Amino acid sequence: MAVEEEGLRVFQSVRIKIGEAKNLPTYPGPNKMRDCYCTVNLDQEEVFRTKIVEKSLCPFYGEDFYCEIPRTFRHLSFYIFDRDVFRRDSIIGKVAIQKEDLQKYHNRDTWFQLQHVDADSEVQGKVHLELRLSEVITDTGVVCHKLATRVLECQGLPIVNGQCDPYATVTLAGPSRSEAKKTKVKKKTNNPHFDEVFYFEVTRPSSYNKKSHFDIEDVDEVDKMEIRVDLWNASNLKFGDEFLGELRLPLKFLRQSSSYEAWYFLQPRDNGNKSLKPDDLGSLRLNVVYTEDHVFSSDYYSPLRDLLLKSADVEPVSASAAHILGEVCREKQEAAIPLVRLFLHYGRIVPFISAIANAEVKRTQDPNTIFRGNSLTSKCIDETMKLAGMHYLQVTLKPIIDEICQVHKPCEIDPVKLKDGENLENNRENLRQYVDRIFTVITKSGVSCPTVMCDIFFSLRESAAKRFQGDPDVRYTAVSSFIFLRFFAPAILSPNLFQLTPHHPDPQTSRTLTLISKTIQTLGSLSKSKSANFKESYMATFYDYFNEQKYADAVKNFLDLISSSGRRDHKSIEQPILLKEGFMIKRAQGRKRFGMKNFKKRWFRLTNHEFTYQKSKGDHPLCSIPIENILAVERLEEESFKMKNMFQVIQPERRVLYIQANNCVEAKDWIDILTKVSQCNKKRLTVYHPSAYLNGHWLCCKATADNTPGCTPCTGGLPANIQLDIDGDRETERIYSLFNLYMPKLEKMQEACGSKSVYDGPEEEEYSTFIIDDPKETYKTLKLIIEGVGTLEQEHAQYKRDKFKKTKYGSQEHPIGDKSFQTYIRQQSEISAHSI
């Protein structure tokens, strides 16, 4: 979801690898060990939680998390919790990275010291204030100064223990006085509207003095006075109300202006506590990749996009814009991700991959090494399989992977690693059964393989067979090196990275999956000497079970099927595919005439057939909504029920299911996938009500009839293909950013083209890393790329200048206290000075 700004859209995303923690403080008990997990938070909102690692002070998590960020945020935070069976889990420490500091750690493994956490430092949100300092002349002719403090509203306050009932205290404080006043409590909202005014007498009545506006004896005291606004959550607990944040403003700045209205970020409370040394709490290893794309309207990208999309037709393909991107990027993966998404979006992925694969095959000398390197071709096919094949994996592997993770059968076949009481032969039999079942389900899944993957495999097979006509097996190994080696085997090895499991498996399960993955990889390789593929003698012995011709025949039949052009209709098989599941809170739909429409926690489950909920996972569904009955899925305004992260599933006869997700990322994910899976419904609505129908009327448009058509247009449609929800303009912007980042290499490549054109001798060493088959054509393309990138760079610079001119410090978008805005002002000042 993009944050809309004037003239462009801003996309934010973050990819996080949570590695491990080390040297956590010991538990104050006889055991000393802890059961720890780590959470990822946008400010105070939890969006991801790792598995619990038991009995360790150096827990290894090894988990990856990716999300699109649907709102603004100030900090990306990580909390280490210690599970407590009897009480609330306790926080050991945290890592908080300010948004503007994320680029410092971009894509680098970094150890962060854990910091202490206390209620006074855990703040978020902003407050809108108006201050007015006035002179009041009394009937006797003397003057006093009064301060009017108007607390208008707050936004984005934290939700504490599932609720937020905020109020504000306003205090005028000085060296010798303190006067406090309090707003009313606003129930069930973290965006309260107060609009209350409080009056304070600042100076004692004195004779009127035009010079200073203050009686001379009060000047020093007024200079030391401040107005303090504290936000609190009204709690029913015996521990008292929870602190949400504060703001301190010295009165002396009001001398310059009698009235001042602005938004302010709430700040932590400075309570004078001395923190312990940072290394007392241990440290956490993280790798964070934060991306922010500023995307213009589509016409801005036409020249660069058109240049990229014709890459498949350029002769030779090494002179194309897409191939050049792969040459200049530090890692091929950087180029492959946006290229594949762009070509998929415009239906050009098969001809593009066919062209670069054909060029790579021509450069390959040995058929045994075909597609074995980390080339642009390999990375592009990997990325295509990840995008287009995700649900293919779900159908094929998920049921048996779930069973392996849940049952925990012993499968260790290394005699050295056997546990006490385990039998080697029993373990071999357990492992053999698992391998047999997975092998069978893979080799019988050819009819379900996505069309785009099959078309690519057909192209690979044809190119390899034509290049190495004397090798009858190369048409199989060209395909198996991807489908087995780079698709099924990695998915079995790390199912969490392919959305087959929510977390990295436990050590025993991980070991079982490693052994299965090794065997499946070898079965799919069709190499002549299978046992020689294993360094370990126990693996070679185990593989003897599979040294039968029927396994090789099954692999070849499978590879023939998925690499044959026009082999079958890919929609002929329609199995239920589990798309998403998890706990959420729903409001009763009113299917019964009488009864409370209350909120209840339920387990929701979405397949490509139906959307259901039940009391707990595995229970019989209490309600089932066929996908064809989902007419719209839209956000619900918070004011409807005073609850955040709510959305609505609209059904026939205007029946609406109101649902609250756990956080903003979960809400976005559910809305997106429900919208995508129901996109082709013929009766989809074009308008909806953004608020609920309560107390006899719609809160949004005030219409009284519950069957009144919606008052707001539904959000834009999404592609029906769940995997391919791609924004072409965003991907072109990413490619522009990469070209801009690697501009020195583009210029170096231009030099290499010139050098090759005039000097036909041995290559200079600094140019030898580039593949340049046709210097003249490559130079032409490079020139067009540099021109296109330069034009876009000018547009971005102009947008920043225009935005800077329109931005007001203290506005709702840029509250006072936002370090990132101050950094922005400094950068713009430097740019302006440089241009002058």
List, for residues 70-104, the tens digit of each pLDDT value. Answer: 888 888 999 999 988 777 888 999 999 989 899 99
pLDDT tens sequence across 757-771: 655 545 555 566 788
Q: Would you state the pLDDT for residue 821?
A: 56
What average pLDDT score do residues 28-52 get? 89
**Helix (H/G/I), strand (E/B), else coil: 115:** strand
d(CA 97, CA 95): 7
The more confidently predicted of residues 46 and 682 is: 46
Q: Would you state the pLDDT for residue 59?
A: 94
pLDDT tens sequence across 347-389: 899 999 999 999 999 888 888 778 877 899 999 999 999 998 9
Question: Which range among 122-126, 170-174, 337-341, 815-819 shows the weakest confidence by mean pLDDT?
Answer: 815-819
- Whether pLDDT at 590 is above 60: no
**What does the buried/exposed string (b/e) look like for 420-445 if buried means 16 or more CB atoms within 10 Å of the residue's CB?**
eeeeeeebbebbbebbeebbeebbeb
Model pTM score: 0.77
Rounded to 10 deg, the angle between the 775-806 and 743-758 helix axes is 160
Question: Which are the contacts of 53, defined by CB distance < 8 A and separation ≥ 6?
Answer: 35, 36, 37, 59, 60, 61
Rounded to 10 deg, the angle between the 321-328 and 728-741 helix axes is 50
The end-to-end CA distance of the chain, in Å, is 38
Question: Which range among 104-113, 406-415, 521-530, 578-587 shows the weakest confidence by mean pLDDT?
Answer: 521-530
- Whether pLDDT at 720 is above 80: no
How would you write 144-210 as a 3-class SS string? EEEEEEEEEEEECCCCECCECCEEEEEEEEECCEEEEEECCCCCCCCCCEEEEEEEEECCCCECCCC
The more confidently predicted of residues 8 and 121 is: 8
- Whether pLDDT at 807 is above 60: yes
Q: Would you state the pLDDT for residue 567?
A: 42
Q: Would you state the pLDDT for residue 322?
A: 96
Share of the chain above pLDDT 90, in %: 43
d(CA 714, CA 700): 14
**Helix (H/G/I), strand (E/B), else coil: 826:** helix
The tokens for 596 are 């409370």
Residue with tokens 């001119």: 805
- Whether pLDDT at 215 is above 60: no
Q: Would you state the pLDDT for residue 302?
A: 94
**What's the mean pLDDT when you consider all of the chain?**
84
What average pLDDT score do residues 420-449 get? 91
The more confidently predicted of residues 555 and 672 is: 555
- Whether pLDDT at 446 is above 90: no
- Whether pLDDT at 172 is above 50: yes
pLDDT tens sequence across 810-822: 888 888 886 655 5
* Confidence grade of residue 218 (pLDDT, cut at 50, 70, 90): low
The more confidently predicted of residues 279 and 638 is: 638
How would you write 198-259 as a 3-class SS string? EEEECCCCECCCCCCCCCHHHHHHHHCCEEEEEEEECCCCCCCCEEEEEEEEEHHHHHCCCE
**Helix (H/G/I), strand (E/B), else coil: 332:** helix
Q: Would you state the pLDDT for residue 529?
A: 52
The tokens for 540 are 């070679």
* Confidence grade of residue 672 (pLDDT, cut at 50, 70, 90): confident
d(CA 350, CA 329): 22
d(CA 559, CA 472): 14
Most confident of 266-280, 480-494, 797-811: 480-494
Rounded-to-10 torsion of CA 209, 210, 212, 218: 20
Q: Would you state the pLDDT for residue 57?
A: 93
Burial of 830 (0-12, 13-18, 19+ CB in 10 A): exposed
Q: Would you state the pLDDT for residue 620?
A: 92
